Amino acid sequence: MLRIALPNKGRLAEKALDLFETAGLKAEFSSQRALLAQLGPDFQAIFVRAADIPEFIADGAADVGVTGADLVAESGREVEELLDLGFGRCRLALAVPETSEIRHPADIPAGARIATSFPGITRSFFEAMGVEVEIAPVSGATEIAPHLGVADLIVDLVSTGSTLRVNRLREVVTILESTARVVVNPAALQDPERKQTIEELVTALESVLRARARRYLMANVPKARLEEVRAVLPGINGPTIVEVADDGAWVAAHAVVDANRVYQTIARLKALGAEGILVTRIERLMP
C-alpha cells in the first residue's frame, strides 16, 4: 500500500480530490472529518497542510503527494516532481508600494527589508543577485507590511494582482511561477513495484488532464464533402467515419478536438453542410 499526501484544505484541496476521483480513485473516508482515506486498492491518502507535504514526502511519511511548486521550492527538500497538474496557478512576485522608485530588482538597495512568507526562496533570489537584504518572515497578510513600516518590499503569491492593487502595491518582478505538482520521494522510485504503481498513477492523472482539454465531436456530414471535413476535423489519426443508415448521401464523422477550438470547428462544419452536431466531454484519454 502506498501513501499519498493530499492538501486537507485551502486552494488545492478540492481540485486535487476531484482529479483523483475522475482518475478512478475516489477517497473513501471512514468518518466525516477523517485525516485518512482509502484511495482505490493501492493507495492510502493522508490529508495534511499543503505546506507540510514536501516535508512529509522527503521524510518518507508519504510516498507521493500533491502540492504547489512554490511550497516545494520553499521547503528546499529533495523531492522529485513527476507531473504538473496545471491548477493552483499563481506566481511569487516581488512588489513595492506604488510610490516607490524601485522599477527593477537592480534598483533594490542593500539593506532593504522584505516581508514574506517565503523566506527561503527570497533569500536564494537575493543571494543569486548578490544583494544583501533583510528578511522579515511573516505567515500571512504580507501586503500590509510596507504600510506598517515593517518592510520596504514584499515577496508574495499573486494570481490576478487585485490584492496588490487594493493594497496600493506594484509588482516589480516574478520570482517563481507555480502550479500544483505531483511529487514523489526519490527512494520510492528505487523499488520496482512501488515505481510501477506510481507510474500507473501518473498515467491515470495525465489521461484525465489530457481529456479535460479535449471534446469528442460527432456530426453528420454530406459524403460529398468528406475531404473538406477531414481538413476541419484532424482528430488523433484523422476522423472516424461511420455509415449512416440512409440512402448513402451522409456519413457520421467523429473526432477528438481541442476544447478551445470547438466553437470554430462547429462553425466550419456547418459551413460544409453538417447536421446533428454533438459535442461531449471525455473522461480519460490515453494516446
Which amino acid appears at position 156 of this protein?
A: D
For 111, residues 6+ apart whose C-beta sits below 8 A from its C-beta are: 132, 133, 134
Min dist CB 8 to ligand AMP, Å, is 8
Min dist CB 116 to ligand AMP, Å, is 13
Q: Give 136: exposed, middle or buried? Use CB within 10 Å, 0-12, 13-18, 19+.
A: middle
Min dist CB 174 to ligand AMP, Å, is 13
Pick the closer one to ligand AMP by CB: 13 or 173.
Answer: 13
Min dist CB 175 to ligand AMP, Å, is 13
Distances in Å between the Cα of 153 and the Cα atoms of 7, 74, 144, 215 are 29, 19, 10, 45
Pick the closer one to ligand AMP by CB: 76 or 238.
Answer: 76
Min dist CB 127 to ligand AMP, Å, is 22
Pick the closer one to ligand AMP by CB: 63 or 70.
Answer: 70
Pick the closer one to ligand AMP by CB: 11 or 210.
Answer: 11
- The tally of CA atoms less than 13 A away on the side-chain side of residue 240 is 9
Min dist CB 141 to ligand AMP, Å, is 12
Task: Provide the binding-site residues for ligand AMP, judged by CB under 6 A.
Answer: 7, 10-12, 50, 68, 70-71, 88, 90, 157, 159, 178
Q: How far apart are CA 287 and CA 166, in angstroms?
A: 45
Pick the closer one to ligand AMP by CB: 89 or 195.
Answer: 89
Pick the closer one to ligand AMP by CB: 11 or 170.
Answer: 11
Pick the closer one to ligand AMP by CB: 121 or 157.
Answer: 157
The rounded radius of gyration (Å) of the Cα atoms in the chain is 25
Instruction: Tell me phi and psi for residue 256, to 5 degrees.
Output: -90, 130
The H or E element spanning position 253 is strand 250-258
**Do the strands 214-222 and 275-281 form a parallel or antiparallel pair, or are they unpaired?**
antiparallel
Q: How far apart are CA 286 and CA 47, in angstroms?
A: 29
Min dist CB 210 to ligand AMP, Å, is 22
For 185, residues 6+ apart whose C-beta sits below 8 A from its C-beta are: 57, 58, 60, 62, 63, 64, 79, 80
Pick the closer one to ligand AMP by CB: 25 or 71.
Answer: 71
Min dist CB 90 to ligand AMP, Å, is 3
Are 87 and 180 within 8 A, CB to CB?
Answer: yes
Are 72 and 81 within 8 A, CB to CB?
Answer: yes
Within its chain, how far is the Cα of 171 from the centroid? Answer: 23
